């Protein structure tokens, strides 16, 4: 298998690792892509970015009230 962040994964396709990556594990390499997109266009003065491990995505919330989401107009 392949080891990533101290965890052993079996050979083959891995739909989702503990750190939110989709990977392919072979005897010679482990290739991974992230399952999340990083917010780049949002109100940086009034909002902050928080990683949501459960959904494997970034939430952009108001600094003054984190229960309220902010509008995101671009992600990479």
pLDDT at position 71:
96
pLDDT at position 39:
96
Residue where the block lists tokens 């396709």? 13
Tell me if 40 sits within 8 A of 75, measured CB to CB. yes
pLDDT at position 40:
95
Q: Between these two residues, 11 and 5, which has the higher pLDDT value? A: 11
**Comma-separated ranges of CATH 2.20.25.590 domains in the chain:** 39-75
Name residues whose C-beta falls within 8 Å of residue 12's C-beta, 6 or more positions apart in sequence: 24, 25
Indicate the CATH number for domain 39-75: 2.20.25.590
pLDDT in tens, 12-65: 999 999 899 999 999 999 999 999 999 999 999 999 999 999 999 999 999 999
């Amino acid at each position: 298998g392949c080891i990533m962040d101290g965890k052993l994964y079996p050979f083959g396709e891995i739909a989702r690792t503990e750190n939110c990556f989709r990977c392919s594990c072979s005897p010679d390499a482990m290739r991974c892509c992230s399952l999340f997109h990083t917010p780049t266009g949002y109100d940086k003065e009034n909002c902050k970015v928080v990683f949501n491990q459960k959904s494997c995505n970034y939430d952009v919330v108001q600094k003054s009230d984190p229960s309220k989401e902010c509008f995101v107009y671009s992600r990479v």
